[in-house]
C-alpha cells in the first residue's frame, strides 16, 4: 500500500521532481492549499489557513503518513502542529517557533554559542521613541522578528535612516506580525518573548565573514549532513 505524503503549497514542478526519487513508487504526493493561498496572500489569518488544511486532511480518503512544508511561514509552523495531531514524527511546535522568531532565536544562540552571536536588542516600532531602545552603535540592522527574504530589513547608519525605516516598518509589519501572533498562541511563551510579539523588531550589529548553511536531516536526535553551502558575507 502506498504511503500518502502531503506538502503544503506544492507546485507541479516539485511534484515532478519528487517522482524521480528512489522508491517513489511506494508513496503518493498530495498538495495542501495552493501557492497563491498559502504563500502569496497579501493578508491572511494563520488560524484560518490551518483550519482549511485540517478540513482537507479530514476529507481525504486514506492514511495521512507525512506532512511537509516547502516554504517559510506560515506553512513552516502549520506542519508541526498538524504532525502532532496525526502522531507523525516532527520537530516540536516550540522548537520551530524558536527558529522562526528572530529575537527568540538569538536568545537561544546566546545560551549555546555566545562567542559568535552578534550584539542585538529588541525594539518596539510603535513606541513613542523607539530609538531610545537601541543599545547598539551605528551602523546596525533592524528588521521584524518575523520576516523572510529581507522583508522590511534595513541597514541603519544614522537617526534619519532609522526613523525612515520605522515608518515603513509600522506600515507593513502587521502583514506577517498579526498571523505570527496567532501562531505564537500554540505554545507557552517565556516572559521575555511574550513582550516581543510578532509586531516587534530586532536590531543587531553588522557581521562579516563566511555564511555557511548545513543541509541535512534530523530524525530522532540523529543529525545527518548531506551538504554545506557557504559564501562570503560583506560587512
Question: pLDDT value at position 232?
Answer: 64
Whether 86 and 107 map to the same domain: the answer is no
Q: At which of 40, 65, 90 does a domain end? A: 90
Question: pLDDT value at position 87?
Answer: 97
Whether 153 and 203 map to the same domain: the answer is yes
Whether 67 and 123 map to the same domain: the answer is no
Question: Does 224 reside within a domain?
Answer: no
Q: What is the CATH number for 161?
A: 3.30.1490
User: Which residue ranges of the chain lie beneath pLDDT 70?
Assistant: 232-235
**What is the span of the domain harbouring residue 86?**
3-90
3-state helix, strand, coil in the chain (%, to 5): 40, 25, 35
* CA–CA distance, 90 with 193 (Å, rounded to integer): 23
Question: pLDDT value at position 234?
Answer: 53
Query: Is the model's pTM score more than 0.85?
Result: yes
* CA–CA distance, 153 with 171 (Å, rounded to integer): 13
Give the strand order in the sheet containing 140-144. Answer: 120-123, 201-205, 140-144, 154-156
Question: Does 226 reside within a domain?
Answer: no
Whether 115 and 163 map to the same domain: the answer is yes
Whether 125 and 193 map to the same domain: the answer is yes
Domain count, the chain: 2
Which tens digits make up the pLDDT trace of 169-201?
Answer: 999 999 999 999 999 999 999 999 999 999 999
Amino acid at each position: 500500500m502506498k504511503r500518502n505524503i502531503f506538502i503544503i503549497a506544492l507546485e507541479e514542478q516539485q511534484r515532478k521532481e519528487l517522482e524521480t526519487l528512489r522508491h517513489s513508487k511506494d508513496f503518493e504526493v498530495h498538495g495542501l492549499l495552493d501557492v497563491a493561498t498559502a504563500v502569496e496572500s497579501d493578508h491572511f489569518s494563520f488560524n484560518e489557513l490551518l483550519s482549511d488544511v485540517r478540513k482537507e486532511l479530514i476529507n481525504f480518503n486514506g492514511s495521512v503518513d507525512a506532512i511537509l512544508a516547502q516554504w517559510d511561514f506560515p506553512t513552516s509552523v502549520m506542519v508541526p502542529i498538524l504532525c502532532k495531531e496525526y502522531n507523525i514524527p516532527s520537530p516540536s511546535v516550540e522548537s520551530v517557533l524558536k527558529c522562526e522568531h528572530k529575537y527568540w532565536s538569538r536568545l537561544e544562540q546566546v545560551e549555546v554559542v555566545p562567542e559568535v552571536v552578534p550584539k542585538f536588542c529588541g525594539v518596539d516600532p510603535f513606541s513613542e521613541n523607539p530609538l531610545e531602545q537601541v543599545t547598539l552603535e551605528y551602523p546596525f540592522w533592524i528588521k521584524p522578528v518575523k520576516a523572510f527574504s529581507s522583508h522590511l530589513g534595513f541597514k541603519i547608519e544614522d537617526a534619519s535612516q532609522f526613523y525612515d525605516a520605522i515608518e515603513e516598518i509600522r506600515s507593513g509589519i502587521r502583514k506577517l506580525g498579526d498571523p505570527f501572533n496567532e501562531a505564537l498562541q500554540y505554545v507557552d511563551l517565556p516572559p521575555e518573548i511574550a513582550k516581543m510579539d510578532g509586531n516587534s523588531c530586532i536590531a543587531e550589529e553588522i557581521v562579516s565573514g563566511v555564511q555557511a548553511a548545513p543541509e541535512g536531516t534530523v530524525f530522532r536526535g540523529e543529525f545527518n549532513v548531506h551538504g554545506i553551502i557557504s559564501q562570503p558575507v560583506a560587512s
